[in-house]
Amino acid sequence: MIQLIRGFKDILPGEVELWQFIEKQTTSLFEDFGFKDIRIPIVERTELFSRSIGEETDIVEKEMYTFPDRKGDLITLRPEATASIVRSYIQHRLYAADPVQKLYTIGPMFRRERPQKGRYRQFYQIDAEVFGVSSPLMDAQIMFMLMTLFTRLSVTDCTAKINSLGCPDCRPAFTAGLSQLLSEKAGALCEDCTRRSARNPLRVLDCKVPACKAAMADAPSILDYLCPDCRSHFDSVMRHLTLLGVSFELDKRLVRGLDYYTRTAFEIQTTLLGAQSAIAGGGRYDGLVKALGGPDIPAIGFAIGVDRLAEIAARSHPDLSRKPKLFIAALGETSQTLAFEWVSKLASAGIHAEMDMAGRSLKSQMKQADRLGAEHVLIAGDTELEKGQVLLRDMVTKEQVPVPVNDLVEAMRSRFA
Ligand code: HAM
């Protein structure tokens, strides 16, 4: 038997209803905040990701699914959505009508990481991006939106961590200080960090290897290096988060795994998923639109890991699967034909009804109705039909009432719609 590939998974009925619920809640909330849906391709030119996420990141160095297409062009299964949305924003000149655009998308991303609990090679993100707003009010607002979604999904066991990564004016002084420390600790760092410490020292702050963590214990804080503009931006973000009642922790080690960030960076973390603590992450990336060939337009966004979110939300939403309103138990050919007609017409009128098409006994049809979780069963036996009626049985109270067969579909519709 052919099995699915390691790190990939099926989302089966029984589980998928929670995903649909999450998606519905997301769409409705995000649209109330003025976001519009955008659909972007799953495959892009490799260069788009290497230039935006950064050559010296884990994602670009070792996690992308990259392959030459039949003409030899290098293409990559998207590891995230931000780069593609920026490309689309520039390519379609979405800024021309109005630089302010709020966009969201939901879909699969691909990273060839080592699979473990909460970490997959195909995973799903809910991604939101705002272009054209440099005000710190937006930073606070999108974090508020994110936390509101989590609250609506009863995901409350999590912490928002925030940091500022400064800007091209103030960050170099910090990275220079960090490089200095790194050269002193050279022997103590892991292979990746040794290689990166010259070209991308910030990455070392993010390394999970215990030796690197220890070496970085007395690293300077970027917050001490912020220029006045970055400092006041960050203070304002925190003030407005407090105003909106969003609780957060300052985490001066938070640097994120992608290189495009400037100023505000944040993550929503949980202790419920073992090593995979981040359910969402994001931040400002004021230089990326320009770096990818567009105008100088600021931006900010975040992505939620849906697999992780669903795993936590499942604890408070055990069974969301839809049960049929009605099961029609038919006995005999005439009754089965009637049931067939009613089930079809009820479904097209928006009432989920089921029947047995195999001519089983009443007993096994009742069992089937029970298994499906039907709320009511219509029993269409010959004796009742001769009287021009069927029996409607409430599966919870076990009460049965006769219902005339004339206009049955309409009667059921007005009862259950
Ligand atoms: P990211 O932190 O790389 O950010 O990913 C966001 C979220 O995706 C993570 O917090 C995690 O929940 C989920 N995730 C990442 N990798 C995996 C995986 N292998 N398996 C399961 N879940 C995973 C970004 O992708 C940025 N594009 C976010 C952003 C948008 N920044 C600005 N705009």
Whichever domain contains 378, its CATH number is 3.40.50.800
Are residues 235 and 101 part of one domain?
yes
Q: Are 352 and 307 part of one and the same domain?
A: no
Residue 198: is its pLDDT beyond 80? no
The answer to whether residue 192 scores a pLDDT higher than 90 is: no
Shared domain for 149 and 284, answered yes or no, is yes
Asked if residue 331 and residue 252 are part of one domain, the reply reads no
Contact yes or no for 5/120 (Cβ under 8 A):
no
- Last residue in a domain, options 244, 279, 313: 313
CA of 347 to the centre of ligand 1 (A): 39
Spatial contact of 250 and 222, defined as CB atoms under 8 Å apart? no
Alpha carbon distance 289, 307 (integer Å): 29
**40 and 137 fall within a common domain:** yes
Same domain (yes/no): 411, 266: no
Q: Do 290 and 374 fall within a single domain?
A: no
Residue 230 lies in a domain: yes
pLDDT, average across residues 218-232 = 94
> What is the distance between the alpha carbons of residues 404 and 100, in angstroms, rounded to a whole number?
59
318 domain-assigned: no
CB contact at 8 A, 80 and 127: yes
> What digits encode the pLDDT tens for the residues 110-141?
999 999 999 999 999 999 999 999 999 999 99
**Number of domains composing the chain:** 2
End of a domain among 291, 313, 335? 313
Reported as a pLDDT band with limits 50, 70 and 90, residue 73 is very high
**pLDDT for the residue 188:** 86
Q: What percent of the chain has pLDDT over 70?
A: 100
Atom of ligand 1 nearest to the CA of 59: 3
Q: What is the pLDDT of residue 193?
A: 87
Whether residues 122 and 235 share a domain: the answer is: yes
Residue 384 lies in a domain: yes
Q: Is residue 111 part of a domain?
A: yes
Q: Can you tell me the distance from the alpha carbon of 139 to that of 300, in angstroms, rounded to the nearest whole number?
A: 7
Tell me which residue has its CA closest to atom 4 in ligand 1. Answer: 281
CA dihedral (385, 389, 395, 397) positive or negative = negative
Residue 56 has pLDDT above 80, yes or no: yes
Residue ranges making up the domain that contains 373? 326-416
Tens-digit pLDDT profile for residues 328-361: 999 988 899 999 999 999 999 999 999 999 999 9
Q: Which residues contact 43 (CB under 8 A, 6 or more apart)?
A: 75, 76, 77, 78
pLDDT band with cut points at 50, 70 and 90 for residue 209: confident
**Which ranges of 322-407 would DSSP assign to H, the alpha helix?**
333-348, 362-372, 382-386
Residue ID of nearest Cα to ligand 1 atom 14: 305
User: Is 202 among the domain residues?
Assistant: no
State whether 304 and 339 are in the same domain. Answer: no
Residue 191 placed within a domain: no
Hey, which of 53, 76, 125 would you mutate to test ligand 1's pocket, going by the most ligand atoms within 8 Å of its Cβ? 125
Least confident of 12-16, 45-49, 113-117, 194-198: 194-198
Residues of the chain above pLDDT 90, percent:
82
Is residue 215 in some structural domain?
no
Over residues 241-265, the mean pLDDT reads: 95
**What pLDDT score was predicted for residue 281?**
98
Show the ligand 1 pocket: residues with CB < 6 angstroms: 80, 82, 111, 113, 119-120, 123, 125, 127, 129, 257-258, 278-283, 285, 301-303, 305, 307-308
CATH number of the domain bearing residue 232:
3.30.930.10
**Confidence (pLDDT) at 215:** 85
In the prediction, which pLDDT does 244 show? 98
Question: What separation in angstroms does the CA of 99 have from each of 131, 175, 191, 260?
Answer: 7, 32, 43, 19
Average pLDDT over residues 255-271: 95
Of 43-47, 214-218, 355-359, which range is least confident?
Answer: 214-218
Query: Is residue 259 in some structural domain?
Result: yes
**Same domain, yes or no: 303 and 330:** no
Same domain, 278 and 354: no
Which of 313, 334, 352 represents a domain boundary (last residue)? 313
How far is Cα 154 from Cα 122, in angstroms, rounded to an integer?
Answer: 25
Q: Is the per-residue pLDDT at 32 higher than 80?
A: yes
Same domain, yes or no: 245 and 348 = no
Candidate from 9, 48, 103, 109 with most ligand 1 atoms within 8 A of CB, to mutate: 109
